Amino acid sequence: MKISSKIKLAAFLLFILIGTLGFEMAWVSALSLKNIQQIQLLSEKIRLLNDIKLLGYKLIKEISDYIDGQNPYDKTDYFYFSTLINQKLVSIESLFSDNEEKTSFEAIKEQWKNLSSCSLSILEEATKLTSKEHLEAKKEEIEKKEYYKFDKIIADIQNKVYLQAINSIAEKEQQLVSFSQTVFPLSFLCSGVILWLVYRWQNLGISLPLQKLIEVVENGKAEPKKIIFPSFHGEIGKLSEAFAHLFEKIDKFQSKLIESERIASIGAMAAAVAHGIKNPLSSIRALAEVSLLQDNLDESAKETLKEIMKETDTLNSRINHLLSYTKPSVPNRHPTNLNDLLRALIPSISRTPSKAITIDLQLDPSLPPILSDSSQIEQVIIELLANAINASEKGGLIQIITRSDPAQKEVLLEIVDHGQGIPTAIIDTIFQPFFTTSPEGTGLGLAIAKRYSEQNGGLLTIQSEVGKGTIASIKFSSFNG
Res 1 pLDDT > 60: no
Model pLDDT, residue 2? 55
Tell me how crowded residue 68 is: count the other CB atoms within 10 A of its CB. 13
Q: Euclidean distance between the first and final Cα of the chain, in Å?
A: 45
Is there a contact between 52 and 161 (Cβ–Cβ < 8 Å)? no
Q: How many CB atoms lie within 10 A of CB 155?
A: 12
Looking at residue 113, what is its pLDDT?
A: 84
Query: Coil, strand, or helix at residue 431?
Result: coil
The pLDDT tens digits of the residues spanning 420-475 come to: 888 888 888 887 777 777 766 667 778 888 888 988 999 999 999 898 899 999 99
Q: Are 457 and 372 in contact (CB under 8 A)?
A: yes
At CA 282, angle to CA 277 and CA 285, rounded to 5? 120
- Could you read off the pLDDT of 216-233 as tens digits, one per residue? 777 666 666 666 767 666
Local confidence band at 416 (pLDDT 50, 70, 90 cut-offs): very high
Rounded to whole angstroms, what are the CA distances from 288 to 297, 301, 314, 459? Answer: 12, 10, 15, 44
DSSP per residue over 58-115, as a string?
A: HHHHHHHHHHHH--HHHHHHHHHHHHHHHHHHHHHHTT--SHHHHHHHHHHHHHHHHH
